Structure 1
Amino acid sequence: MRTEITLANPGSPMLPALLTLPAPAAALPPAIILFGRDERGQPHASRFAGDMAGEAEAAAGLMCLHHAIANTDALRDLAARLPAGRLFPSGRGFVPFVKAELYERLLAATVTADTPLPVRAVSKAADAPPPAGAGSGSKGSPDAPGGTPKAPGDWAGIKVGSTVLACQGPMEGWWEAVVVATKADDRFVLRWRDFPDEPEISRARADLGLMPPGSREGLG
């Protein structure tokens, strides 16, 4: 839709000139915020575009998360500080970790009680496909019967079955990932340990991080 305004044409007083202006853009619906604590008490939160409100709210129900509409100045400011979430075909979503201070501000702005989520509500989806390599029986594989993931002590020790840290993307932080295959040029295929709905990724050895020394997080 365009708006036409008739103005006098200074070059020819007898002929009007048409000035065409674009119509004002329709306001975007406010963002949707999903948030909650996992079974270990870690805070998670992310924002979703307002035009995904229905899908985001359905994901919140599946994952037992709280949801809020960013329709106040305080919530709009908080939404802008949150990482963007993702929705999976299963109907669940990717809701990353956030800092405790930001999460507490979110609780206060939404007047929400600080309660943990049921076990596995944020981490592994109940309807997720089997992890890569499941049932292969390969010795040392974290997915083999009796297998245990290993945290290598240095970059040279990274191999199939290792639990390492990989960067999800700009502003999205580092997350635990399990090496499921090796590739040429010193690269690895990995799956996200806690988000099996996400596609496998490929990273070079130099682009991976090591688990903190002595950490047993997620290693059985």
Structure 2
Amino acid sequence: MHTEPTPADALPVPPALLKAPAPAAEPPPAVIVFGRDERGRPHASRFMGDEAAEAENAARLMGLYLARANTELLRDLAARLPAGRLFPSGRGFVPFVKAELYERLLAATGMPDAPMPTRAASKPADAPPPAGAGSGGKGSPDAPGGAAKAPGDWASIGIGSIVLACQGPMEGWWEAVVTHTRADDRFVLRWRDFPDDGEITRARNDLGLLPPGSREGLG
């Protein structure tokens, strides 16, 4: 009796191969770090779930709140927030956010609306003096005027000036303090609100000026 060969796709399959692949483990929920700074301005950012321990430590050092995005509402709010960054110092970069979004975050978490404690808001001892103290240059306490100044034009930028510098793509412009000048018409700066982020260098034409008459950032 003649029989047709069994097609390859009809051969018995070992039971081990019939098992469905194990579902991939779901990543831990994102965490949200948020709060107001000493001036009452709202900050908030999201961190990946596997950064939860580091983000919790940063929130504690900075006097901010932390919430896990473990509900649909909080996941939606987290998706609307800018991504934060963690620094070797243990602190983090938590940008400004719009008041409306911050208020929704407070309502979703039930946290009180209060500025961060003064102790947490204070700058570390090695932060640069905002007015270029000890330099004797423009804007230093022992120079005429005494306080940090916003230059009226690019030619007036010098040590102690408060200017705007771009943090990076999609991260916006932030207040920075000029700490040194260089011969190639470039400046060394420190972020005014994030001194732990270290120094940056920018060319004169890559800096922005505060709006005329603005007192923002001048103390």
Bigger proportion of residues as strand: 1
Bigger proportion of residues as helix: 2
Amino acid at match of 1:159: G
Shift of the 160–72 alpha-carbon distance from structure 1 to 2, 3 Å rule, reads: same
Q: 1:188·1:204 contact (CA, 8 Å) conserved in 2?
A: yes
- State the alpha-carbon separation in 2 of the partners of residues 172 and 182 from structure 1: 25
Please provide the CA RMSD for this pair. Answer: 3.1
For 1:205, the equivalent position in structure 2 comes to 204
Question: Is 1:140 aligned with 2:121?
Answer: no
Larger radius of gyration: 2
Shift of the 16–108 alpha-carbon distance from structure 1 to 2, 3 Å rule, reads: same
For 1:73, the equivalent position in structure 2 comes to 72
Amino acid at match of 1:166: A
Aligned-partner SS, 1:121:
helix
Give the stretch that moved more between structures: 28-37 or 150-159.
150-159
Aligned-partner SS, 1:165:
strand
- State the alpha-carbon separation in 2 of the partners of residues 14 and 78 from structure 1: 52
Structure 2 spans left out of the alignment, 5+ residues: 1-5
Give the stretch that moved more between structures: 167-176 or 35-44.
167-176
For 2:82, the equivalent position in structure 1 comes to 83
Question: Is 1:179 aligned with 2:178?
Answer: yes
Shift of the 125–28 alpha-carbon distance from structure 1 to 2, 3 Å rule, reads: farther
**Cα shift at 1:26:** 2.2
For 1:116, the equivalent position in structure 2 comes to 115
Give the stretch that moved more between structures: 69-78 or 140-149.
140-149
For 1:152, the equivalent position in structure 2 comes to 151
Amino acid at match of 1:131: P
Shift of the 106–14 alpha-carbon distance from structure 1 to 2, 3 Å rule, reads: closer
Shift of the 14–33 alpha-carbon distance from structure 1 to 2, 3 Å rule, reads: closer
- State the alpha-carbon separation in 2 of the partners of residues 47 and 169 from structure 1: 17
For 1:6, the equivalent position in structure 2 comes to none
Aligned-partner SS, 1:138:
coil
TM-score (norm 1): 0.80
Give the alignment partner of residue 128 of structure 2, picking from 127, 131, 137. Answer: 131
- The alignment-based identity, stated in percent, is 70
- State the alpha-carbon separation in 1 of the partners of residues 186 and 136 from structure 2: 21
Q: 1:142·1:148 contact (CA, 8 Å) conserved in 2?
A: yes
